[in-house]
Amino acid sequence: MNRTGLLIALAIATIVGLVFGIDPALDLKIEATFFDPHGIGFWVRVDPVSNWVRTLGIWTVTAIVAPAFLALACKLIQPRRKLLMSGRAIMFLIATIALAPGLVTNVILKDNWGRSRPIDVKEFGGDERFVPWWDPRGDCPKNCSFVSGEASGAFWTLAPAALTPPAWRAVAYGTAFVFGTVIGLVRMAGGGHFFTDTVFAGVFTFLIIWAVHGLLYRWRATRVTDEAVEHAIEWIALPGYTALERLFARLRGGLKSL
């Protein structure tokens, strides 16, 4: 998570944004390679292997982030016990998955950016009009094409990759990038998203990860320690935990007096 990565992401966004903004039909041309006009259309949509890959992708992301949620839950239930994993890692993983695939992708963009999915536009047998990536005035009312939610979730694996030991980090980044690309291609091949939906899902997700990583780990003015995060969780959880302890003590005392 350094400036090189940031510059690469911004360069990709600029080039793809300009090229596909000037010639929006490129999205249609790329998508047409997955479409059979004389058969069942986007045949990958009903292909069991591609559906298995989609399911595997969702469960992979879930399995990676689950330990962070579990460690936080254990700390909230028993605040005096030590965290099961690094405090900053918990904060980083939960914050990035909540912000990138969660808030930005599925709440802000997909429900408000009315770009129709490939399978719904007239060029591929639908009844809605195609609009370029930059135009939110499409016919889609909700859960729209821009950006890809599943690709955003898959590209989120760049976050845990950033926490791997330096010797393995390049491999981890590469694996996360390939994972996100594969899931994005599967969604494109199934008529779920255009090329630009997938690219910007990756760009936006990376930018959020880059910023949160900077806040917690890199930037001197905002970075915190694992101990500070752990103490903050304790400070939040202890009042409720103490109140429950007192309540149970009173209940036990009342039962003994019966």
pLDDT for res 252: 73
Q: For the chain, which ranges sit under pLDDT 70?
A: 253-258
pLDDT for res 85: 94
pLDDT for res 243: 81
Cα-based torsion angle of the residue sequence 17, 2, 92, 200 in order, rounded to the nearest 10 degrees: 10
Q: Could you tell me which of 104, 108, 69, 100 has the C-alpha nearest to residue 212?
A: 100
pLDDT for res 135: 97
Whole-angstrom distance, CA of residue 176 vs CA of residue 202:
11
pLDDT for res 184: 97
pTM: 0.92
The residue extents of the domains of the chain are 3-238
- If DSSP codes are grouped into helix, strand and coil, which group holds residue 193? coil
pLDDT for res 230: 94
How far apart are the two ends of the chain, measured CA to CA in Å? 63
pLDDT for res 247: 77
pLDDT in tens, 176-229: 999 999 999 999 999 999 999 999 999 999 999 999 999 999 998 998 999 999
Residue that has been written with the tokens 């809605």 in this structure: 128
